[in-house]
Amino acid sequence: MAHSNSDYKQQVFQLAQAIVFDRLEKAGKPIPDDKAPVYVIYARKSTKGKKKNQDGKQVERQERSIPDQIKDCKALAKREGLKVVDILKEEKSARKSANREVFEEMIDEIKSKKSYNAIICWHPDRLGRNMKDAGEIIDLIDRGVIKDLKFPQFSFQRDPNGLMTLGLQFLLAKAYSDNLSINVSRGNENIIGEGKAIGNKALRGYKVVNKRQRPDGKNFKLIQQAFQMGIEGKSQDDIALYLNQNDYTQNGKKAKMSKQLVSAMFLDTSYTGYYVYGKNMVDLTKLDSLFTPAVSYLDYLRLRNILDGKKGYKKVQEKATPLLDQMVVCGYCGNLMTTYLNKNKPDSPTTYLRIKCSTKECYSHSVKGLREIRAKVIFEYIYEVLSSGIGINEKAYNHYVADAKRQLVSSAKELESDQRSISKQINDLESQIEEQQIIVARLEDDEKSVKVAREKIRQARDEIEQLETKLAQIKNQRVDTVSLLKEKVMSYTEFSNFFENIVATLETSDNHLATDSIIRMVFLNFTIKDKKVLTHQWNPKFESIAKIPSVNECRGDRTRTCGLTLPKRAL
C-alpha cells in the first residue's frame, strides 16, 4: 500500500510530539490533555488585626469578607464562562497547616477526580499562608492534578513562569510581586509561535535572515549530505569527520563537529520543519512559507529506524530539575554544565543537586572528580555574595518600575493597534471572498473564470487562517499586558525589606521553583573551575537597581554549612 507525503508528515509530527512529552515528563511537568477544567470556588476568612466596635470592644478587622470574595469569584466565572460546581467557605486561620478542614477536603476531592479539578479563589494568599499547603498546591499544579487556578485579584498563567510567580506569592505571602520577574520564557514562546528564530540561534546548516531560518549555502548542502550519509548507514564518527574535512561553519565560524553533535542533530525533528525548542513545538512549514527542510519526512523516519535499530539512544536516568538549569558555565571549555538530582545510594533518604560538564572533549574529563561538583558550593557562594552588603538604590528602583510601566503601556497601545489592523485585513479578505463567490455563481459555465475565482477564494481563506492565528496570539498578549498593568507593584520599602531577608528565605525554602526564580532575579550565570565558583555575572536588570560593593568574587574555596544535605531541601 502506497503512503502519501501527508502520512510521513503525520509520523514525524508524532515523533516530535513524543520528544516534547518526554521532556515534559523528565522535567516533572504534566502532559497536556483535553479535559476541560471544572471549578470550585474557595473563600477563606481573613483578618487584619483588631479594631473597636461601637460598644468599644475589640473585634477582628476583616480584610475582605467571605460573601465579597464569593461575589468577585462568581463575577470572574461568569465573565470567562467557567463551569463552577461547588462553593466552599473556610472560617479558620491558614497560619497553621493542620487547621483547615475545608481546604483539606477540597484537596482530597481534587485528588479523587470526582467533582472538580480547578480552583477559583479571591487571591493566592487565601490558599496558602503556610508552606505546607502552598507546597501542596504547587505540586498538584505541577503534576497536572489541579488543572487551573483563577484569581480576581491576581493574574496566573499555567506555565513555568506563572508557576514560579505563584510560588513566590505563597513564599512571601503578599510581599513579592511577579512584576520584578523577567518574562523571558513567555517572550520566547511567542517568538517561536510565529516561526521566528530566537536571536541568532540557527539550526545547523541554516542562518538567521530577518529572524527566519534560511539555508546557509554550502553549509546547508553539507548538512543535507550528513543526513543522507546517516540513511546510508555511515557511522556518526565518519559523518562528523566528513563535515570537519569540508570546512563546515556555523554563523560564519568554523564549527568542530563530533559524534555527539551529529547524534543530537539526527534526533532533532526541527530539520523536517517540526521545530522543537525546549518544551514547545511548531510547524515551520506552516508558519514560514519560505522555510526549506534539510530532510524529508520519509528520509527522517528511515534514519530514525536505522538509528533506533542500533540502540544508539539511551534514556537519561538522572532526574531533571529547573534549579540553576542553563546557569552554570564550565571554566575549562566554556560550555554550559548540566544540573541534575541523584542519590549516593538507591535507598538513601537524601537527594543531592549535582552539576557536571557533559562536554567529553573538556579538560575536566581528564582528571578524576574534576568534571562534577555539588551544588552546595554555588549556594554557599550565593549566600556569601548576598550577605556582602548589597543594597537597593531607591532612585534606580523607582525609575525601573516607572520605565517598566511605560513599556507595558506602550506595548498595550501597540498590541491594540495591531489587533485593529489585522481585524481590518480579515474583513477585507472576507469581502474579497464574497465577491469571488458571486463571480462563481454568475459565471458557472465559464470554467476558466470559475477556476481563477476559486483559487482566489482558497488563497484568501489561507491568509485569513494565518491572520486569525496571529490575532489570537495578540489578544492573549493584550490580556497578559492589561493584567500586569492592573497588578500592584512592590514599593521600594517593600522590596528592600524582602531583599534584606533574601538569604534566610533561600536557606529555608523547600520550593525549587521559588528558589530558582529568586536566584535568576539576581544572577545571570556562574563560572566553575577547580571545583570552585570562579566568578559570576549579575542579572543586568537587577544590577541596574542594586548598590553593589567591591567584593572578591572568588570565594569557592571558603566553606559555610547551611544544612544543604537535608532531604527536604534536596540540595
One-character DSSP codes across 387-449: TS--EE-HHHHHHHHHHHHHHHHHHHHHHHHHHHHHHHHHHHHHHHHHHHHHHHHHTTT-HHH
- Give the whole-angstrom CA distance, residue 150 versus residue 121: 6
> With b meaning 16 or more CB within 10 Å and e meaning fewer, what string describes 376-398?
bbbbbbbbbbbeeebebeeeebe
pLDDT at 320 over 60: no
CB 341, CB 353: distance < 8 Å:
yes
What residues are paired with 215 via a beta bridge?
Answer: 206
pLDDT confidence band for 239 (50 / 70 / 90): very high
Instruction: Give residue 524's pLDDT.
Output: 92
Query: How confident is the model at residue 31, as a pLDDT?
Result: 56
* Mean pLDDT of the chain, nearest integer: 79
Three-state DSSP class for residue 118: strand
> How many Å apart are CA 63 and CA 362, to the nearest integer?
59
pTM score, whole prediction: 0.39
Distance of CA 228 to the CA centre of its chain: 34
Residue 63's pLDDT is: 52
Domain segments of the chain as ranges: 33-50+59-177, 191-309, 394-488
Residue 58 has pLDDT above 60, yes or no: no
pLDDT band at 152 (very low <50, low <70, confident <90, very high): confident
pLDDT at 177 over 50: no
**Which residues are bridge partners to 213 per DSSP?**
208
Residue type, 345: K
Encode pLDDT of 366-418 as tens digits.
888 888 898 899 999 999 999 988 889 999 888 888 888 888 888 889 988 99
What pLDDT is stored for residue 54 in this prediction?
Answer: 45
pLDDT of residue 187 exceeding 70:
no
- pLDDT confidence bin for 27, thresholds 50/70/90: low
Residue 338, SS3 per DSSP: strand
Contacts of 213 (CB under 8 A, 6+ apart): 197, 202, 203, 206, 207, 275, 284, 288, 291
Cα 3 to Cα 520: distance, rounded to the nearest angstrom: 49
pLDDT band at 345 (very low <50, low <70, confident <90, very high): low
Instruction: Name which residue leads in pLDDT, 292 or 131.
Output: 292
Q: Among 181, 183, 107, which residue's Cα sits nearest to residue 140?
A: 107
The answer to whether 86 touches 48, Cβ cutoff 8 Å, is no
Confidence of residue 50 (pLDDT cuts 50, 70, 90): very low
Alpha carbons 381 and 168: distance in angstroms, whole number: 22
Determine the pLDDT at residue 557.
36
Q: Do domains 33-50+59-177 and 191-309 have the same CATH topology?
A: no
CA distance linking residue 190 with residue 167, whole number of Å: 23
Q: Quick one: pLDDT band at residue 60, thresholds 50, 70, 90? A: very low
**pLDDT band for position 564 (50/70/90)?**
very low
3-class state of residue 285 by DSSP: helix
Q: Rounded CA gap, 47 and 129, in Å? A: 13
Give yes or no for residue 555 having a pLDDT over 70. no
- Which among 31-35, 195-199, 526-530 has the top mean pLDDT? 526-530
What mean pLDDT comes out for the span 525-536? 93
249 confidence band (pLDDT: 50, 70, 90)? very high
Beta bridge partners of 62: 47
Least confident residue range of 187-191, 474-478, 515-519? 187-191
pLDDT for res 301: 82
| % of residues, the chain, pLDDT over 70 | 80
Q: What is the pLDDT of residue 135?
A: 76
Three cell numbers, residue 150: 483563577
- pLDDT tens per residue, range 409-460: 888 899 889 999 999 999 999 899 888 888 877 877 788 888 888 889 889 8
108 has pLDDT over 70: yes
Instruction: Quote the cell numbers at residue 138.
Output: 504547587
Q: Is the pLDDT of residue 485 over 90?
A: no
| Cell numbers that stand for 106 in this block | 477540597
CB atoms within 10 A of CB 570: 19
- Mean pLDDT within 499-517: 82
CATH number of 191-309: 3.90.1750.20
Higher pLDDT, 136 or 552: 136
pLDDT band at 179 (very low <50, low <70, confident <90, very high): very low
Helix (H) or strand (E) holding 339: strand 338-342
Query: Residues 459-484: what's their mean pLDDT?
Result: 82
Helix (H, G, I), strand (E, B) or coil at 328: strand
- Domain 33-50+59-177 belongs to what topology? Rossmann fold (3.40.50)
Mean pLDDT along residues 507-516: 77
